[in-house]
Amino acid sequence: MTGKLAHRLHIHRGYSCHTRKNGGGSERFNQDELRLASKWTIDMPGADKIFGIHGTALALRSQRLNMLASNIANAGTPGYKARDLDFEKAMAMTDQGKSMSQIMATSSGYRTPLQPSMDGNTVELSTEQTLFAENAMQYRTTLSFLESRVNGIKRALKGE
Amino acid sequence: MSGPMNIFDISGRAMSANLTRLNTTASNLANARTVYSNEEDAFRSLKPVFQTAYDRAGVATVDVAEVVQSDMKPVKKHDPHNPLADEQGYVWEAGVDEAAELVDMLETARHYQNNVQVMQTAKSLILETIRMSK
């Protein structure tokens, strides 16, 4: 932790990774979001009779995995703000017939750092790694629910 | 890039950004303590500028926007027996903070490892999904 802090102090003094003055970042982000929102939609399997809630849960877990991977990827970028998905809120929204991109945009938020760093980066690797591992485990759990569902149907079809 | 950013784009691009950073650190350490006969020619440490590349909400990776030269001053030293010394007997040593470079190197290696780990986990999850109920 002290090493990291020392490094961030260095960043602030300008000896290490430099921050690019990027005024138009948030604006471009919104444009990209709009552009992708139109073509990136997944039919929510919320009302699916076979997979029940697990299909939706798996899709959301996969999205959260991407978000946490983005945070880990940007662990050394000055000024990057870590984001995360409120899984419970997102699950509650799936019944309302919204597209995946709408759900992602409204149920995600920014992480509050335990110990803010001087370069404006809010990624804390210990937090992100723990949540990433937790989410991967939950993905596997959902997958095993789906697997047993598929196996059950298979058995019923074969008439064993 | 075609289609939305996937987890391999996220971690892969972050890995290449970190590799660039590791390369600049290696260059800086290789050129540390080299001497020059004037201040202008002296080597100054190179630093990558990391910039976040956003995709959709909450999904982003990192790229190296550019590699810049730091404003660190070369160290002036009196060494009249050095063949590179000027008329007054001065040489300039490269503007590299070796301790900071070593800290940078360790941090970069850690970040690289984390991204590899993310990729491995994602790969195993995807393969498990493909092999579901086989």
Q: What is the pLDDT of residues B96-117, one digit of tens each?
A: 999 999 999 999 999 999 999 9
- The SS3 assignment for A80 reads coil
State pLDDT tens for residues B20-36: 999 999 999 999 989 99
pLDDT of residue B27: 95
Closest chain A residue by Cα to residue B15: A73
Enumerate residues 6+ apart whose C-beta is below 8 A from B2: none
- How far is the alpha carbon of A16 from chain B, nearest alpha carbon, in Å? 6
CB contact under 8 A, B55 and A67: no
Distance from CA of B75 to the nearest CA of A (A): 16
Flag the least confident range among A26-30, A53-57, B40-44, B70-74: A26-30
Question: Whole-number mean pLDDT of chain A?
Answer: 75
Confidence of residue B14 (pLDDT cuts 50, 70, 90): very high
Q: Which helix (H) or strand (E) holds A107?
A: helix A100-107
pLDDT, mean of each 10-residue run, chain A (160 residues): 39 38 43 44 53 87 93 93 91 82 86 90 92 95 91 87
Percent of all residues in chain B with a pLDDT value above 90, rounded to a whole number: 66
What pLDDT, on the 0 to 100 scale, is given for residue B8? Answer: 93
Minimal CA separation from A70 to chain B, in Å:
5
User: CB A15 to CB B59 under 8 A?
Assistant: no
As a whole number of angstroms, the distance between CA B59 and CA B10 comes to: 8
Q: Do A147 and B132 count as a contact with CB atoms less than 8 A apart?
A: yes
Say what the pLDDT of residue A22 is.
Answer: 43
What is the structure's pLDDT at A93? 86
> Of B16, B18, B44, B51, which to mutate for an interface test with A (greatest number of A Cβ within 10 Å)?
B51
Q: Which two tokens stand for residue A31?
A: 């444009």
The interface residues of chain B toward chain A in range 11-40, judged by CB-CB distance below 8 A, are 11, 13-14, 18, 21
Which pLDDT tens digit goes with each residue over A91-128?
A: 888 878 788 888 888 888 999 999 888 999 999 999 99
Tokens standing for residue B20:
């660039």
At residue B1, the pLDDT reads 55
Computed over every residue of chain B, the mean pLDDT equals: 91
Please give the pLDDT value at position A4: 42
Contact flag B133-A150 (C-beta cutoff 8 Å): yes
pLDDT of residue B56: 78
Q: Check CB contact under 8 Å for B10 and A69.
A: yes
Secondary structure (DSSP) of B63-118: EEEEEEE--PPPEEEE-TTSTT--TTSEEEE-B--HHHHHHHHHHHHHHHHHHHHH
- Closest-CA distance, A51 to chain B, in angstroms, reads 13
CB contact under 8 A, A73 and B10: yes
